[in-house]
Structure 1
Amino acid sequence: MSMQDDFYAGVYWSGRKESADECARRAEVFFRLLSQCDPTYARWFEQANSLKKALQLQFEPTYETLLRFFKSRKYNEGAFGVGFSAWTGHEEDGHGGSVMLSCGSAVTPPPNNCLLYLPDEGPAAERVLTASVLTEMMRALVLAWDPDDGGVYSQAYQELRDQPVGPPHMGWLMYFSHRLGELPPLPAPVRVEPVEDKGSLIILTPERFNGHDPAHVALADQVRALLDRAGLLEDLCPG
């Protein structure tokens, strides 16, 4: 029996000063597109110090509500933009998801990112952890935030490769904005899809990637070397 691999999705972008209004418009698009990917993301709650309190903080991620949040002292961090987090209200560990967002900052190094934590157990994980659904989730992240780069990252691969040439930017899926340059030719079974006019999405394997699988690790290493040689892994900042 193979060991399980866990995943999170994230997109990252360099200093881009945006107002609470602009961040709220982007966030509304993100939550709307994400809700179409899977029922897991149909309802949202603010986070709080206790489960009981947090479950009383359900909200509709409309532009008006998000703007009110992003202008509040709780979430507005001045020069650092907006810092916001929310979760799906699933009480069982691993069955739901959460979002952590930093938007609107022009400081260096830029904290701008949107991280999406994915279910790793139960029916939701079976539905979400597929190349087709994760492709739509990455499209939601890209179309909302117009990031420089991002991906669906394998925890096992990150732990295996956390030293060589800086952060392990490799994931099951990876996104690169056209601003970063052109992708090199990549080996089968890797697939590359455009995300409208913004950039390219790389899908390493059609089946679920596993950072404990030597064949998957070898493929990720091969693709990583090609992307690094093409200059696409410089100055990227996945956490």
Structure 2
Amino acid sequence: MPPHPTPVLHPDSYFAGAYWGPRKESPAACAQRAAAFLGMLAACDPALANWNKIPKPRGKGRKTPLMPPSLPALTEAFRRGVNREPGGPPFEDLGFRVGAYNDGSGHDFASVNMKCGCYAEFRMANACVLRLPAKGANAERIFTASVLMEVVRSMALAWEPDWAVAMSRTQQELHDEEGKADMWLGWVTYLARHRGTVPPLPDPVRIEPVDDKGTLIILTPERFTVANPEHVALSRRVRDLLSRAGLLKPLQPQR
């Protein structure tokens, strides 16, 4: 039996992701960022407070708790998470990967995948992607603007990404269908300061600073849903304003 449960997907499930370009970092540096992120994430909601390392090969090995965050354990996890061909040398320019899952099962299952330290050219280099519980009491508590703001803020502070987002799968699919998949605009979006200045945006959009690192953009105080045509129209309007301001350019040129 695998040491972690099989996730249950739901069509309107939510995720949060942080993305950044090439950045050479050691396993120890990646571990420091991961420890900071997991610590802040635990403060966002009880369902995000306990994490166990996903073993390699997946589905084998004993349960390895990562909470409270241990720098030595996380450093070793990232060191072992280097990309390599079986039996071959490590590809250090491709960075390091560590995955973790929470204590939930079924609809309460959540996972986080962290890729850090990649400095190879012509790649979507680094990312931290958090898949949230699908539905139920924990999901209802997390799927609010206030909680998702703190989740994205945690990503911004810990990983210092170029951008980050929290959104539903249906919102992501809408972006993809419209051919706007380079950078998604979510219910909550973070843009790093170096990308430019966020222009004035229409009500009810909120804009909040994240220390001196960047800006959070919250589209609506209530849950954003693509079933609401007003939400969709607002998203398109805000995306157009951000695009005109040059804030939604891809992280790096495509080959």
TM, length-normalised to structure 1: 0.90
What residue in structure 2 maps to residue 101 of structure 1? Answer: 114
C-alpha distance in 2 between matches for 1:212 and 1:32: 34
Give the residue type in structure 2 aligned to 1:69: A
Aligned pairs (5 A) from 1:178-217: 178-217=193-232
Shift in Å, 1:47: 1.9
Give the residue type in structure 1 aligned to 2:242: L
Instruction: Say yes or no: does 1:34 pair with 2:64.
Output: no
C-alpha distance in 2 between matches for 1:130 and 1:138: 12
C-alpha distance in 1 between matches for 2:98 and 2:209: 29
What residue in structure 1 maps to residue 86 of structure 2? Answer: none
How many equivalent residue pairs? 230
Pick aligned residue for 2:100 from 86, 99, 110: 86
C-alpha distance in 2 between matches for 1:221 and 1:155: 17
TM, length-normalised to structure 2: 0.85
C-alpha distance in 2 between matches for 1:156 and 1:164: 12
C-alpha distance in 1 between matches for 2:61 and 2:206: 40
Render the CA deviation track for 1:2-53: whole Å, top value 9, x for unaligned: x973221001111110011110111110000001111112211122444xx5
Aligned pairs (5 A) from 1:218-237: 218-236=233-251
Q: Where does structure 1 differ by over 6 angstroms across 4 or more consecutive aligned residues?
A: none
SS at match of 2:148: helix
What residue in structure 2 maps to residue 172 of structure 1? Answer: 187
Q: Is contact 1:5–1:211 with CA below 8 Å preserved after alignment? A: no
Give the residue type in structure 2 aligned to 1:192: I
Q: Is contact 1:211–1:217 with CA below 8 Å preserved after alignment? A: yes
What residue in structure 1 maps to residue 5 of structure 2? Answer: none
Pick aligned residue for 1:115 from 129, 134, 148: 129
Give the residue type in structure 2 aligned to 1:154: S
Q: Is contact 1:45–1:54 with CA below 8 Å preserved after alignment? A: no
CA RMSD of aligned residues (A): 1.9
Identity %: 42
Shift in Å, 1:161: 2.9
C-alpha distance in 2 between matches for 1:153 and 1:187: 19
Structure 2: gaps (5+ residues): 1-9, 84-91
Aligned pairs (5 A) from 1:137-148: 137-148=151-162
Pick aligned residue for 2:28 from 16, 21, 30: 21
Aligned pairs (5 A) from 1:154-169: 154-167=168-181, 169=184
Pick aligned residue for 1:62 from 66, 70, 73: 70
Pick aligned residue for 2:50 from 43, 46, 49: 43
